[in-house]
């Protein structure tokens, strides 16, 4: 804007004493407005620009009204008034169209910002897979659910009573030796990390009358020195069936059904005598080697058989702890190492691989 503001003087002071001169003065202001509008007006200074020209207090139009129109001599008043009205409506309508122009430009810019480019490649979010332990659990549960077992879970922090005593493992019993136990210091009444899922046999029978048919998946803990096949934690699935008429045949049939489902229809089963305080008789369940089919190979150490899990008929002594009638009831139980089963089935030789969360390892089991 020009440095000198003509509207701060009267027309007389500006030397405009004829109608032509008046028209000329208004034309100058209008020309300046038009030039400023093009050169200066922008979204940043818009309100200042508007105030400068049409602001009620000290805008150009107000000043022209005050300094040109009001003091105009009588004979010039009509022409000044007329020119003033013309200038006023010109400025006001030009400001209005400029305002609309600025607004719609802003709208366009916002719309352009919000536009989605459908041709951009998407963000790849790799889909994970279920961990091999989870997959193995699902497979084991599927098999047992299909023959009428239901799933229960129990605490990982146990009492010696449930972990040992009620399973017919009294203190100083040698069976406690091969289950080196994590005891929890200072816990009231003595607590420990369960060394197996068998305590859930007791907890279930305490709460429930026969028939009982349960499987118990869960983590167990032992003070083992870590090596290729041992850690401080591993996974088990426990099984228990108790009813009035369960025989050794039911036990054997169930075990054989399981082995065929888990390893394939050609798999054979073998029961070897064993010992567990809570089963009598006890057995180790072996399956014919799934790699060589029984002819002998590195995996089965050339025996043709693979050791799968421990099992047996529930020792009547256990029923005494849960107030079941040992005369009328019978049943079988089993306890499997899930990590072991997974390693055996998928030919994994290093247990730690299952827990290191290296995706290169985990991705091999989609
Ligand atoms: N609890 C045993 C262990 O962890 C496994 C076991 C063996 C469970 C025989 C059973 C069973 O229920 O009948 O070594």
238 lines ligand 1 (CB under 6 A): yes
Q: pLDDT grade, residue 188 (50/70/90)? A: low
Cα Rg of the chain, angstroms:
47
Buried-state track 46-67, b at ≥16 Cβ within 10 A, e below 16: eeebbebbbbeeebbbebbbeb
284 lines ligand 1 (CB under 6 A): no
Q: What is the pLDDT of residue 187?
A: 62
Q: Is the pLDDT of residue 2 over 50?
A: no
pTM of structure: 0.68
Q: Which residue among 169, 241, 310 has the greatest number of ligand 1 atoms within 8 angstroms of its CB, and so is best to mutate? A: 310
How far is the C-alpha of 52 from the C-alpha of 2, rounded, in Å?
13
Angle between helix 338-346 and 248-263 (nearest 10):
40
300 lines ligand 1 (CB under 6 A): no
| Ligand 1 centroid distance, CA of 237 (Å) | 9
Domains of the chain (ranges plus CATH)?
Answer: 5-113 (no CATH), 132-156+196-362 (3.30.930.10)
- Decide: 242 and 254 in contact? Cβ < 8 Å: no
3-state secondary structure of 314: strand
Q: What is the pLDDT of residue 352?
A: 92
What is the rounded average pLDDT for all residues in the chain? 92
Over pLDDT 70: what percentage of the chain? 98
| Ligand 1 centroid distance, CA of 31 (Å) | 102
313 lines ligand 1 (CB under 6 A): no
Q: Is the pLDDT of residue 113 over 70?
A: yes
Q: Which of 33-42, 165-174, 233-242, 297-306 has the highest mean pLDDT?
A: 233-242
Q: What is the pLDDT of residue 295?
A: 92
Cis peptide before 109 (omega within 30 of 0): no
Q: What is the pLDDT of residue 228?
A: 86
Q: Which residue among 212, 286, 316, 334 has the greatest number of ligand 1 atoms within 8 angstroms of its CB, and so is best to mutate? A: 334
């Amino acid at each position: 804007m020009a440095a000198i503001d003509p509207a701060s003087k009267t027309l007389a002071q500006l030397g405009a004493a004829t109608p032509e001169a008046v028209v000329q003065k208004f034309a100058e202001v209008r020309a300046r407005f038009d030039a400023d509008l093009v050169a200066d007006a922008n979204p940043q200074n818009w309100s200042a620009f508007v105030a400068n020209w049409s602001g009620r207090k000290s805008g150009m139009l107000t000043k022209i009204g005050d300094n040109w129109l009001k003091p105009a001599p009588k004979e010039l008043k009509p022409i000044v008034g007329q020119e003033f009205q013309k200038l006023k409506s010109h400025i006001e309508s030009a400001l209005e169209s400029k305002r609309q122009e600025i607004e719609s430009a802003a709208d366009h810019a916002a719309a352009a910002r919000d536009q989605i480019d459908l041709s951009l490649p998407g963000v790849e979010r790799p889909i994970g897979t279920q961990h091999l332990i989870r997959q193995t659990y699902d497979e084991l549960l599927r098999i047992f659910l299909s023959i009428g077992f239901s799933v229960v879970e129990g605490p990982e922090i146990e009492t010696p009573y449930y972990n040992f005593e009620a399973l017919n493992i009294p203190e100083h019993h040698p069976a406690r030796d091969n289950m080196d136990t994590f005891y929890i210091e200072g816990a009231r009444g003595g607590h420990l990390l369960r060394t197996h899922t068998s305590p859930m046999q007791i907890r279930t029978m305490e709460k429930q009358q026969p028939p009982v048919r349960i499987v118990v998946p869960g983590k167990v803990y032992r003070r083992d020195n870590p090596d290729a096949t041992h850690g401080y934690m591993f996974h088990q699935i426990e099984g228990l069936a108790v009813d009035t008429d369960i025989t050794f045949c039911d036990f054997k049939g169930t075990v054989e059904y399981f082995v065929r489902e888990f390893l394939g229809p050609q798999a054979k089963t073998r029961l070897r005598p064993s010992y567990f305080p809570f089963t009598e008789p006890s057995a180790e369940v072996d399956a014919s080697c799934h790699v060589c089919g029984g002819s002998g190979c590195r995996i089965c150490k050339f025996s043709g058989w693979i050791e799968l899990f421990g099992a047996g008929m529930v020792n009547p002594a256990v029923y005494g702890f849960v107030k079941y009638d040992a005369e009328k009831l019978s049943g079988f139980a089993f306890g499997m190492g899930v990590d072991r089963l997974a390693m055996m089935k998928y030919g994994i030789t290093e247990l730690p691989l299952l827990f290191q969360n290296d995706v290169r390892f985990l991705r091999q089991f989609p």
